[in-house]
Amino acid sequence: MTQAKIKPIKAQGAFKSAAKDKPSARTTNSPLTLRLTPEERARLEELAAGMTLSAYVRACVFAEDQKLRKTRPKEISAERKAVAEALALLGHSRIASNLNQLAHHANIGILSFGPQEQADLADAQAHLAAIRTLLMQALGKKS
């Protein structure tokens, strides 16, 4: 019995041609670099007030009304900080996971409610109360 000669396949070329067929994600935007002195940069940021620098330059160059883009506030407000703390507490508390475990144990009939479970429930209740208080503060409501 003789073995047929196997020709090696040049897979690398096939992969390259397939990669070339895929268009790049950013084919429509072309970056532009502009070098400014610190004083010029400060003046540009002052003039752009409320707009991104790119949007401001586009509006000046092309004399079009550009949409104002949202900018991040320089300082974090107390309300936003309270919301962030509430979300951190919510993530830290593992309430969803604990409730899922309780439901599973109840469904299979092995739920026991002893001193440890009472302590866990009291802990979860304290977390929920803290989260509620922070959310009410963030919304400007009285507890």
- Per-residue pLDDT tens for 45-75? 888 888 888 888 888 887 755 555 556 666 7
The two structure tokens encoding residue 41: 């940069």
Distances in whole angstroms, Cα of residue 111 to Cα of each of 114, 123, 124: 10, 18, 17
Taking alpha carbons only, the member of 82, 81, 53, 77 closest to residue 66 is: 53
pLDDT for residue 37: 93
The confidence score (pLDDT) of residue 24 equals 57
Output the pTM of the full model. Answer: 0.35
DSSP state of 74: S
pLDDT at 82 over 60: yes
Cα distances (Å, whole numbers) of residue 130 to 47, 56, 125, 135:
43, 43, 9, 9
Least Cα distance to 79 among 120, 135, 26 occurs for: 135
Give the whole-angstrom CA distance, residue 95 versus residue 127. 9
Q: Cα 8–10–12 angle (5° rounding)?
A: 145
For 1-15, 69-83, 126-140, which range has the lowest pLDDT when averaged over its residues? Answer: 1-15
Q: From the CA atom positions of the chain, what is the Rg in Å?
A: 30
